[in-house]
Structure 1
Amino acid sequence: MVGQVFGNAKVFKEAVKEHAIKQGRSIWFPYNEKSRVQGVCKCKLDICSWSIWASCYEKNSPTLMIKTLNDKHTFPRVYKNLLANSTWLAKRNMEALRPGKEFKMFDFLEQWSKSHFRDWSKCDMLLNNLCESVNGDRVILVARSAHIFSMVEMIRVKIIKRRAKRSIDLEKWYQNIGLRVAEFMELQAQHSGQFVAHWGGEGHYQINRGSTSYAVVDLDQRTCTCRRWNLT
């Protein structure tokens, strides 16, 4: 969030990395100095506008404050995130791996191996997309500095105007899915050109990537051996 303060550049980068790993994003830091740090999305197609910029809160101070933040990702989640390396994994499990602690390998795999992840719904729309779309609005940033009654009134008026605008926009809409979803589906359709599906009968398909077998899809059960369908 814009205005958030961190003790130094290292603390800021660790927080950004932790957020990126949890959100399934790959980021890097083109500017990486003690007085200023910038993080951007590390997508190969250079189509994602996500970025964050933090610089000195006070002159000659190591403290950094987030100055600008574009929190909208236009590139899909990644499943091979290089940020989740052995160092990050060791820090997360240091306490559990200490000598004398009872350690069960299955518990470890259940947390960190995709083959053991639970596949129930993990949709974060309710607590992420809807909330963040409001929190990132300039009106909210201004309202935060007002008294409680003024703040609530400003938010109420903003929501009324927003609902009215969205209602007008919906009258012009001509598709069954939202614009962002349509753009995402189009991007996935472009990527699907590298795969070939071979029918195996009764709703089963083998997916090949070049000359290599990639996965087996069961349309009846809506499962895939790559487990991406199950885990997302």
Structure 2
Amino acid sequence: MDRRTLLAVVLSVIVITIGFSIQSLLFPPPEVIPRDPATQPGQTAPQTVTPDSADAPATQPVAAPTGTVVAVSRDGISTTPVVFQSDLIRVTMDPAGATVVSFELLEHMDGDSPVDMVFRGADDQRAMTLHFGDHRAPAVTELFEATRIDGNTFEFRRDFAIAGQENSEFTVIRRYRFRPGEYMFQHDVEIRNRNPGAFVPLNFNGVAYTIGYGPQIGPIFEQLDQRNEFRRFLALQGGRRQNYNR
């Protein structure tokens, strides 16, 4: 092959290559969409249908077990704590359960703060908790409606019922009475049946309710050695006062 023939072949190859390049730019081939291997020709791919939230069934509230005490639904009860203060004590009461969350002795200091006779601990425990049944029953935590009767008296009330029992509604009234110049206070629990002529439907193995105070009385301590640290309890038993040191 002479030089002229070889040059003609090279030029032809260059022209053909440039021609195909221009054609692919001006007239690109149609894009091929890959087919799902699970979908055969003539078949429609399965679709996942998400139900509209409006058509989804509403979540039904879980009914309380029959025989348990439940609070009667009521809106608008305040969550603001109630505080009583005298020259000796400052007591903070929480509408949640009508409990005492702080009982400060203003004339006795623990560092820079008054001694608090309510040690709440890591579990946010509190004093004067109400339990339907014995002390092993859970404490009532529902909100109570608080009313200040006078300067020294506070009243908390809430309606309850027995789940699964008709005409079983009753009202619990918890009343705190303080006296100026005294550390002691009076606490009354009154239960009124809302159905005249019927008994209050509270009987859990012979126990209607229990008042709890936990996890301990007084501030934190390392050891009760009966000398530097001790707790003295007074109880009225058989008409006589009994003293207990712990």
- Decide: shared fold, TM above 0.5: no
Higher relative contact order (CA 8 A, sep 6+): 2
**Which structure shows the bigger proportion of residues in strand conformation?**
2
**Which structure shows the bigger proportion of residues in helix conformation?**
1
Provide TM-score, normalisation by structure 2: 0.23
Provide TM-score, normalisation by structure 1: 0.24
